[in-house]
């Protein structure tokens, strides 16, 4: 069996995958999903959340929520403006 190695930038891979039919995308997703180390992903996510909580522990939760609501409104406004253009 011959082996071929191809070096493609991630953006080219993304473009190629987006052109695939839905069934092939699903087959590719199932193949890649088997390679995921879900416990490692969960540990990294938990570590990130804990780091964020620790870094902002001194900030009042009401202030955080106020900022979150403000950011959400800004994103929605930008999306709405983009969809109208």
pLDDT, tens digit (0-9, with 9 covering 90-100), for 13-41: 999 999 999 999 999 999 999 999 999 99
**Whole-model pTM?**
0.49
Q: Is the pLDDT of residue 78 over 80?
A: yes
* Separation CA 44–CA 37 (nearest Å): 11
Residue with token string 């540990």 = 43
Share of the chain above pLDDT 90, in %: 72
Mean pLDDT for the chain?
92
Query: pLDDT band at residue 3, thresholds of 50, 70 and 90?
Result: confident
């Amino acid at each position: 069996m011959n082996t071929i190695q191809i070096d493609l930038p991630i953006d080219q891979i993304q473009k190629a995958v987006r052109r695939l039919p839905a069934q092939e995308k699903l087959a590719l997703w199932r193949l890649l999903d088997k390679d995921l180390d879900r416990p490692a992903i969960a540990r990294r996510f938990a570590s990130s959340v804990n780091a964020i909580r620790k870094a902002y522990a001194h900030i009042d939760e009401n202030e955080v929520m106020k900022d979150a609501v403000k950011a959400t409104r800004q994103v929605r406004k930008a999306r709405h403006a983009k969809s109208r253009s």
